[in-house]
Structure formats: structure tokens, C-alpha cells
Amino acid sequence: MARSMQTRTDAQTTSRAFFIDRYQSIRRFSEYLCEPLVTEDYVVQSMPDVSPTKWHLAHVSWFFETFLLSQAIPEYQSPHPQYAYLFNSYYNTLGKRHSRPRRGLISRPTVEEVYAYRRDIDDLVLNLLEHLDERRLAELAPTITLGLHHEQQHQELLLTDIKHVLSCNPLSPIYKARSLPSIPNSSPLSWVAYPEGVFWIGHEGEEFAFDNEGPRHRQFLQAFQLASRLVTNGEYLDFIEDGGYSKPLLWLSDGWNTVQTQQWQAPLYWEKRDGSWYMMTLSGMRAVEKNEPVCHISYYEADAYARWAGARLPTEAEWEIAAQDVPVEGNFAEQGLYHPAPLNNADPARKLAQMYGDVWEWTQSAYSPYPGFRPNPGAIGEYNGKFMCNQYVLRGGSCATALSHIRSTYRNFFPADARWQFMGIRLAREV
């Protein structure tokens, strides 16, 4: 995931104490997420889209080194200049880099050496923050803030990537044992109506946002309805049992080709044993809980399910307009479940549930620039704009997203066949 940013500049969030505390907190959380792992877990790359845990830990440190330390410290000398080749992700303007699908072959530096690298960078960053004057701190605040949100993005990737790694092990290892909630009955799905009109969407103001969330602009919407909650495993099982994966009329052409080529028959991590469905979770293998939100669904599957259900996926503008008045709360990474939770006792006064957390919600909107969008100059400009092709927008965050990292204007994006992220479905339909 890659984006540039804007940031607020008030006194509170440009204070030295604020940045020191925020930096240490986020860096510690990355290492907290790694505590359940053994050394062997850190180095596996189970597919090209997955990066080894060790690589994530090094890359986010390289990011602070490259975009903060080297810019803020005159004549800065990296303690490990060769790491720029190993841990650059996709910044072409910064030089050559190691092939992404071959990150699992980087056996050296060792895990221990990567943690030592993190400590070196932490010492340098904290020393920098301690000694910057207020003017210079304010100048560097956008870069520091970007680095912190960048690390939160990789915390989510760390969780989703290690889940894929462990799922490839025949022993179905447990990342962290968790007692997941069980709800006997799901709340009935209802529809919330929104009138047609011209609406403002996109980010404005001084609060942090990535640059792809703006500029704020007007958009006309036809009247629409949005489902009151996410689609559940039980509802998706009905689609499977009705032959949803064998009916070409439900699928986009590329989706049908993918289903045939990849032999998809259910969401990623599902498997059938003795007539019952089970799923791999970060708490190990367990029976599919019908009232949990369905997840690890591609755009193709979400679109086919919506068509089977007599509905469609929302546009990202519809989702944002509906979400603007919904509190940003839900099942996020801080809860430590690392798995979508069933809807429990939905507040009848709140029309929409599960808008944030649990699963990223596919929209039917192609990931493209808003009117007036301009990428930032320099290497940071590669963070976002160049990915605006052949991807779809998702909204709302997931159970692996940090609560402090999400907002109603946040635009995530992935190719239509991606499934290893916590991706799910909310339906929409015409009035």
C-alpha cells in the first residue's frame, strides 16, 4: 500500500513530546506483532504478493532512514548503505532494488541483524527529535507523520502476510491463540436509503490524510440503498451451495477466467472436511462460523455474489457519504482478535453497522485520481499516483488495521483477483 500525505500542523501534533511518544508507540507495536513468531517464520515468502516479516521490519526502518534522516541530517551516512538495494520497495527514482518476488531469498542480514538495524534507526530518529528546534520540527512534521502511517500500513501487511505464510504449512500453525466470539443469530439485513443529490467527498482540512484522498470535490449520486451490515459466511455459503462458482452468467469475464484457472470454489483459507467447511485463521484452523463477516474475497467474488443476491457493490462515493456520520469504531488491530467478528447486538438507533474494522469493503469504483489530483514532487510522489491503474477501491479498514490509521475518506486499493487481505462485502442497490 502506498500513498503520500497531508498532515495537520497545530502545536499539539508538532510538539517534540508528541512525536517522540507516537514514534516509540508505533515502533513498539510492530515488534509486539512479531512476538508470537519464531525465527523461521520471519523469512518465508509464500507468494510474490507476500513479503517476509523480516523484510517488513527492515523496510519501514529504511523508509525513516531514507526520507527523514538523510534529509534532516547534513552529510548523513547510512550504517548499512547496502540495505537501500535490499529494502527499497518500488521507488524507482532512488535507484535499483531487489526483485519483489525474491525477497524470501534474502537470508542475510539475519533476523537479529534486522532488529539491530531497527535499534540503530530508532536511536538516530529519537536523537534527531530531541534536538530539532521548533521551526525545523514543524518543517519535518509531514515526513515524520508519513513514516508513522507508513509503518502502520506495514503492520497490517505483516499480519496478512504471516497468515498466508502459516496457511501454507500443512500443520496449520497458530500465530496467537484467541477465543473468538460466537453469536447464535446474526442481525437481519436491512436497507438504508439515501436520496439523490450533489455531495462533497474527499479529504479537506489539516488532519492527516494521504494525497489520494483529495482534493475534496463534488459528485452527483443517484438515490441508492446500502445494506445495514456486512455479508456473513452463512449468506456466502448459500451462494456456494447454489452453485455460485459454476454459473458463468454471475461473473465478469476476467473473474470467470480466474475462477476456472485458479479452481476457486470458496473464499481463500476455506477447505471442506468430511462435508463441513473449515477456515484457517491466525488462531489456527477452525470451523466456519456462519455469523461472522465473510472475508478473503476477491473483487470478482464480491461482484458475483452481489449479482446473485440481486444487488451490487457500492461506489466509493456512496460508501463515503453513508459513512460520514458513523463513528469510527469497530474491530481493529488493537483488539487483538485479528479476525472478523460477528455483529453483536446492533444498536437499533444506528442504521449502519460494521462500517469500520472487521473487513475492507470492496466498492465497484476503479482506483483513479480525483479531479485536480497532483502527486507530490520527488520520490514521495511514487508513493501513490503511479498505482492508479487496474485496481479497485476498498473502504473502512479491517481487523488488522490500526484504529488511529483509518477515517471515512481513506482509499485502499487492490487488483480484482487479490484475496489474501481481510476483504469482504457490503451490498448496495438502486432505490
Q: How confident is the model at residue 5 (pLDDT cuts 50, 70, 90)?
A: very low
**pLDDT at position 152:** 98
Q: Is 178 among the domain residues?
A: no
Output the pLDDT for position 185.
77
**143 and 211 both lie in a single domain:** no
Within a domain: 344: yes
- Residue 379's pLDDT is 63
Say what the pLDDT of residue 346 is: 61
Is residue 383 predicted with pLDDT exceeding 70? Answer: no
Residue 162, pLDDT score: 98
Tell whether 84 is covered by a domain: yes
Q: Report the C-alpha gap between 270 and 299 in whole angstroms.
A: 17
Whether residues 49 and 133 share a domain: the answer is yes
For 164-175, write each residue's pLDDT tens digit: 999 999 999 999
Q: Which residues are CB-contacts of 181 (< 8 A; sequence separation ≥ 6)?
A: 341, 342, 344
User: Which of 151-155, 187-191, 342-346 is predicted with the least confidence, judged by mean pLDDT?
Assistant: 342-346
Is residue 281 within 8 Å of residue 187, measured between CB atoms?
Answer: no
The domain spanning residue 100 has which CATH number? Answer: 1.20.120.450
- Whether 293 and 303 have beta carbons less than 8 Å apart is answered as no
Distance CA 187, CA 190 (A): 9
Residues 155 and 196 in one domain: no
159 and 215 assigned to the same domain:
no
Domain closes at, from 167, 200, 218: 167
Q: 258: which residues sit within 8 A by CB, 6+ positions away?
A: 264, 298, 300, 417
Q: Does 104 have pLDDT greater than 60?
A: yes
The tens digit of pLDDT for each residue in 288-309 reads 999 999 999 999 999 999 999 9
In this structure, the answer to whether residues 54 and 161 fall within a common structural domain is yes
β-bridge pairing 276-281 and 270-273: antiparallel
Residues 103 and 212 in one domain: no
Burial zone of 359 (CB within 10 Å; 0-12 exposed, 13-18 middle, 19+ buried):
buried
> Residue 6 pLDDT > 80, yes or no?
no
pLDDT in tens, 16-63: 999 999 999 999 999 999 999 999 999 999 999 999 999 999 999 999
Give the pLDDT confidence score for residue 10 in this predicted structure.
43
251, 300 Cβ separation under 8 angstroms: yes
pLDDT, tens digit (0-9, with 9 covering 90-100), for 243-297? 999 999 999 999 999 999 999 999 999 999 999 999 999 999 999 999 999 999 9
Residue 175 lies inside a defined structural domain of this protein: no
Check residue 344 and give its pLDDT.
82
Mean pLDDT in the chain?
A: 93
pLDDT of residue 206: 87
Q: Which is nearest to 61 in space by CA: 83, 37, 82, 40?
A: 83
4 SS3 class:
coil
Instruction: Decide if 88 is inside a domain.
Output: yes
Query: Per-residue pLDDT tens for 353-381?
Result: 999 999 999 999 999 999 999 887 766 66
Alpha-carbon distance 202 to 96, whole Å? 34
- Give the domain extent around 146: 5-167
Listed residue (75, 73, 69) closest to 83, CA to CA: 69
Report the candidate in 400, 296, 320, 347 with the shortest Cα–Cα distance to residue 56: 400
- Examine residue 211 and state whether it is found in any structural domain, yes or no: yes
Structure confidence at residue 167 (pLDDT): 98
Task: Let me know: does 355 contact 314? Beta carbons within 8 Å.
Answer: no
Is 379 part of a structural domain of the chain? Answer: yes
Q: Does residue 32 sit in the same domain as residue 136?
A: yes
Tell me, yes or no, whether 19 and 149 share the same domain: yes
pLDDT at residue 119 greater than cutoff 60: yes
C-alpha cell at 74: 547534513
Instruction: Return d(Cα 424, Cα 340) in angstroms, integer.
Output: 10
Q: Does position 319 have pLDDT exceeding 90, yes or no?
A: yes
182 found inside a domain:
no
Residues in Cβ contact with 300 at an 8 Å cutoff, skipping those fewer than 6 apart: 251, 252, 254, 255, 258, 259, 416, 417
Residues 163 and 226 in one domain: no
pLDDT tens digits for range 67-102: 999 999 999 999 999 999 999 987 877 889 999 999
CATH of the domain at 243: 3.90.1580.10
Q: Is the pLDDT of residue 385 over 90?
A: no
Supply the pTM of this predicted model: 0.94
Total domains in the chain come to 2
Domain edge (last residue) among 151, 167, 183: 167
Which of 107, 135, 167 delimits the end of a domain? 167
pLDDT for residue 93: 77
- Asked if 163 and 292 sit in the same domain, the reply is no
319 plus 362 within the same structural domain: yes
Q: Is 160 found in the same domain as 222? A: no
Q: Is the pLDDT of residue 407 over 60?
A: yes
Cell numbers describing residue 360: 475492507
| Average pLDDT for 101-106 | 96
Pairwise CA distance, residues 85 & 89, whole Å: 9
Query: What cell does 223 get?
Result: 438515490
